[in-house]
Structure 1
Amino acid sequence: MVIDQLPIDILLDHIIPRLDVASLCQVSYTCHLFYRLCNDEFIWQYRVSADFALPMNTDRLKNGWKKLYIQLDRAQTYTWGENSDKRLGFSDHDNVERDTFMRQITTPRELRALRGKGIVDIVAGGWSFHALDRRGHVWMWGWMQPKHPFADSMTSQALVKKPTRVQLPPNVHIISIASGRCHAIALDTAGRVWHWANPWQTRQVLVPRASTKKFIQITAHWNSSAILSSTGELFLVPFPCASHEQTILDDPPVTHPSSPFIQIAGTEKCTIALTQSGRVFKFRTERRDDFVTTPEKYTTELVHFNISPLNNNLTTTTNRKSNRPGVFLSAQFRHFAICCQGKVLIGKQDGDDQHLPQILDAMNHEICKVTFGDYHFGALTTQGRLLTWGRFSSGALGLGYAYSNINQTMPQLVETLNNMFIFAIGFGGVHSGCLAIPRSTLIQQQHV
């Protein structure tokens, strides 16, 4: 039997969805049947879901899923905040306007060097950004280990002035990235983990004691990382060592006796973990050896953050598509957040077992993701809007210089991005970034 004699449902449900975009285009040229099948709305809806992370139920498209995919592949990258050290990635040819002090960019500006790269995710570190494109390449710019008092025990590196490809092996296709203060970690399509403190020296993380070789989630602390296996085992990863070609973890996994972990997130000193049954635990992991020896001493159940199973809607987070309806756990520096059906619980890493969550007042917006800088915060809505609050942070709120003397306690819309649909955000230090496409090309909705 030749392939075009297979039942249509087999082709549409099991074969064609496995093709990447380049292969889809090539197959569509072979005959009228495959032209029709490769342009099916379901196929392109699947490709949008597989290659990009939209934070909404896109149920009323203006031009169809294929045209949406083309728009997402041309997504624009915006950065703003502290720029005295050129960490935002703008070159001298970008002619970026500055505020009065010429050191801060206080409203979002497009980073044109990433145009056409198909960027699907962005994360921020202490003084840097990392971005992931749909082809599985990782881009980095800024300082990873600057000449800075907080990093004086490390080897300083030169400023990466414009987005530059991280040097991963050619057969590695990354699907998820996270950033600590001076390092980054990534997960690839094969479930392998990589990390680096230098974009030219990446290291694979090997875990001989894991019950599976496939990992489904990564997170970064300020100076270490954590990874989650497909069987719900949690492993702690030390800071990348430049003197070794691989990082081998010999410690036993962190497990829960009655319910596997399904999501993790890292603050400065702690790992926050969500179980299948909706329980939330905090592991104080900054002293890795002490934690491994007596984990119970450094474990706290955050009982006021526990959530109900939501009719089995607590699904495993496998990659950047984690902002689908359900539960999303995020953390950075000294805060963490749990987004559950539009409700957001925010906590601090130093809270005890009676720590009460702050309920985010999002002004009737439904929130699907929260991100944290050092002292400024951001929330992404299901309608592609960005809300920020907290300190001015060198302009990282994105609200303009008029907010330089204001501690913004209530989330406020970043109005300069009102004509854009935002689908990814990443804050860190005193700088911010997001990915967006023109709103006019995306959807027809009455209340956006």
Structure 2
Amino acid sequence: MLLTDLPVELLLDHVLPALDLPSLLALAQTSKFFSALCSDDTFWRLKLRRDYNFTSNADTARESGWKVIYKGIRRPSVYTWGNAGQGRLGVKGLPKQYRSGVPFPVKVNIKARIVSLVAGGWSFHALDDAGRIYVWGQLQGEGYAMRQDGFSESVKGASTPHRLQVNYPASEPTDEAASHPVKFTALSCGRAHSAALDSKNNAWLFTSWGRPIELTSPLIHDTQNPDEKLVQVECGWGFVSMLNESGTVYVLWPLTEAEEFKRVMDNLNETLDESGEHKASAIEVEGEDVIPCSSLAIAASPLVLPPIPDDLPDLSSADPASESFEATVVLVRIGAGDDFLVGLTNKGHVLSIDLTGGGDRAPQGSEWLREQWRTRRRPGWVYLPQYSDVEQVKQNPVFASDSGVLPPTKMKITHIAAHYNSFTAYSVSTSTSPHASLVLLGKKDTTAPTHELTFPQTIYLSLLQESIIALQLGDYHQAALASNGKLYTWGKFSDGALGLGDPVDLPLGAPGGYTRQEDLNVARDGRRWATPEGVSDPSAVRFDHLIKKDDQLGGERKPSKKFVVSVAASGWHTGALVIDLDGDTAEENAGLKGKAVVKNEDGETFAGWYPPPVGRPMPGGWPHQLPSTGVPHAANQPPAEHDSHDPYSTFETPGFNPHPSGNPATSSSAHHPLPGHGPAVQRDGAGGGPPLAPRFGLALERGRGGLRGHVGRVPPGLAAFMPQHPPAPPGPEGYPEHRGSEE
């Protein structure tokens, strides 16, 4: 039997994944069959997940280009722009003219291979290929922390990226789980909190960066029933929602005073503060700023949302390619905004559910909502036909007979997203063009006198011509990512959150610039600053603002081939995960003007391939430090637009080494041995003395918690493979803030 006689799925699922990268590339050159097989997009998508912990594909509608991303993800870059308050851009030394906001992408220095990026109300969270979380900005931006405070305080700021060292909580002092680091696979951010999923499908909550909480409950983590496995965590403005495999949704309000969860969490934090331990002050480990976290376990009792309606219309006629064998309609994706959720079913139905006491009134708590739904005095999930039914979409004015734009004849929404008071539903490969997309946007509204939520539909004509695969929403701006790696933004200026360039340097009338000559003149003279008008049409974001000008090119910048992998937006800021298709472009430092030049170390081109690190050692235990009193949360208040950069100096990290050593020697500091790391330097003025070992759950000791939760075939052969796997579509070009403050 020849190797080509094996079933294709056997080769893709078992043979190819067992090969190292050089062997895989060599196999691809042996025949046309293996060349096509080794270029299979599904295979490279799975390889990205296995080798690099790359799970951002769940948030995009990308259907191709995974091999290109695999090549470039070895040396990714993180860019941020927009409001610079609270240190949320992750860079220090900004020139005076950019203190309030940077209107173009600036590069963040992170000593890690970042594979996912999300944005919070005043912060960014990033996930690396080892499943570790990096944070910067402030989790809660409406307050200040003292210099001696640690990251047990939600208002403690990090002006540059800090890595969270998170271990599993221990139910007793001898529990070995407390020495096991957590590998995270997905992140989500709310306004002043964040949540994550780990590799065991446990849900985690962060109301401060120094004290992560593992949510334990048989409802959300039933190891005996695979249908109860969590598949998504999604943070809304002030809540966290969770979706399991069977389509059930759970909601928890961690910052709402009326909730039992908040009382339990506050009692645990108070006990930690009184014990004089677990302050979570930052330390330096081999050039990285690290936050040694104290993990807690709380037996959460989230609100179980009502099931979706059982009389949803049949949408299969609008999508002839849909799988007819899927008889059961279930939720497969959720998006969370300000006290509302949107949901997407496997059949393309888009629904919404109101989590308030009715319209604009404030949330009344989970018990009140549970009673309302039990007695049917309030509707549960509401079907949104204007975002689901192609016949309803055709009625949009953009498809008027005199517009010349053809409406789609078939449609199946595949992705949704929500933030603050907006949401979007989108899909790619519409009937009008195989490389176009349909993006539907809605803004939360209420209907009097019932106060039910409605979402008037908006369609942007220019996005119909692009293959949009992801869309993220800020408070007053939007960002859309195309399959070719281009990024488009539009909306209000929001201190530069559009990232279209410095208005002073842009031509009059350019997107992101001034529309009146007098405003441009006084801004250039430095006499005053006028806020540029918003941008109504999606406009492309450039990443060449910091590229050093080349004298050999007549003082022009060398063209840069940047490919955006994913985008994050929230508040008044935006970020992007980017790979450089050139691989050798020199950029000025984040200091922007008059600073040193940052260059890629290897100087290799994009064609240089290196396998990912295998068996990378994960960090071990960490010292725990003295706690401090907390600062109360001020929920649902307008943002404080002040600059609260953390005052301490930050170690400048060296460039990222793509070839980490195999077994770093274990070393220790004067305080505590840190397995797998160099000397640890105490930060933030915390005192010395041997650290106390972690000793929890406190939830069990105090009687408030619970036990820590653990949680069609392809025919064989070449002849069958080729007609079912046509050549992949072309890859990228060049390759075979906050409420009320801006309304």
| TM-score category (smaller protein) | 0.7 to 0.9
Q: Give the alignment partner of residue 348 of structure 1, picking from 418, 423, 443.
A: 443
Deviation at 1:119, TM superposition (A): 1.1
Correspondences of 1:40-439 after superposition (within 5 Å): 44=44, 46-48=46-48, 51-52=53-54, 53=56, 56-58=62-64, 65=67, 69-92=70-93, 96=94, 98=95, 100=97, 102-114=99-111, 117-148=112-143, 156-169=154-167, 170-209=180-219, 212-239=227-254, 241=265, 243=268, 245-249=297-301, 251-258=303-310, 259-286=329-356, 287=363, 288-295=366-373, 296=376, 297-299=378-380, 300-307=382-389, 327-341=414-428, 342-351=437-446, 352=452, 355-363=455-463, 364-402=465-503, 403=513, 404-416=531-543, 419-439=561-581
Deviation at 1:416, TM superposition (A): 3.2
Question: Per the alignment, in what secondary structure is the counterpart of residue 461 of structure 2?
Answer: coil
Deviation at 1:195, TM superposition (A): 1.1
Deviation at 1:327, TM superposition (A): 1.1
Give the letter for the 1:304 counterpart. Answer: Q
| Structure 1 Cα separation of the partners of residues 48 and 302 of structure 2 | 38
| Structure 2 Cα separation of the partners of residues 138 and 334 of structure 1 | 28
Question: Per the alignment, in what secondary structure is the counterpart of residue 73 of structure 1?
Answer: coil
Q: Deviations over 1:275-297 (max 9, x none)?
A: 23332222122533332222351
Deviation at 1:161, TM superposition (A): 2.0
Distance 1:307 1:217, change over 3 A: farther
Larger proportion of strand: 1
| Structure 1 Cα separation of the partners of residues 191 and 571 of structure 2 | 8
Cα contact 2:241–2:250 (8 A) shared by 1? yes
Q: Deviations over 1:44-68 (max 9, x none)?
A: 5531365434664446x9xxx4x85
Cα contact 2:252–2:302 (8 A) shared by 1? no
Q: Deviations over 1:108-154 (max 9, x none)?
A: 0110224xx221111111100001112211111110123449xxxx9
| Structure 1 Cα separation of the partners of residues 157 and 143 of structure 2 | 12
- Larger relative CO (CA 8 A, sep 6+): 1 or 2? 2
Deviation larger for 184-193 or 356-365: 356-365
| Structure 1 Cα separation of the partners of residues 64 and 96 of structure 2 | 37
Give the letter for the 1:165 counterpart. Answer: R
Cα contact 1:136–1:172 (8 A) shared by 2? yes
Distance 1:209 1:83, change over 3 A: closer
Deviation at 1:180, TM superposition (A): 0.2
| Structure 2 Cα separation of the partners of residues 415 and 397 of structure 1 | 11
| Structure 2 Cα separation of the partners of residues 250 and 354 of structure 1 | 26
| Structure 2 Cα separation of the partners of residues 391 and 447 of structure 1 | 34
Give the letter for the 2:444 counterpart. Answer: Q
- % identical aligned pairs: 23
Gaps of 5+ in 2: 145-151, 168-179, 256-264, 269-295, 311-328, 357-362, 391-411, 429-436, 447-451, 504-512, 514-530, 545-559, 583-605, 608-730, 737-743
Gaps of 5+ in 1: 309-324
Cα contact 2:414–2:427 (8 A) shared by 1? yes
Distance 1:444 1:236, change over 3 A: closer
| Structure 2 Cα separation of the partners of residues 16 and 134 of structure 1 | 23
Deviation larger for 128-137 or 199-208: 199-208
| Structure 2 Cα separation of the partners of residues 17 and 223 of structure 1 | 44
| Structure 2 Cα separation of the partners of residues 57 and 276 of structure 1 | 17
Distance 1:353 1:268, change over 3 A: closer
| Structure 2 Cα separation of the partners of residues 307 and 200 of structure 1 | 46
| Structure 2 Cα separation of the partners of residues 123 and 44 of structure 1 | 23
Deviation larger for 228-237 or 275-284: 275-284
Instruction: Tell me how many residue pairs correspond in the alignment.
Output: 407
Distance 1:138 1:24, change over 3 A: farther
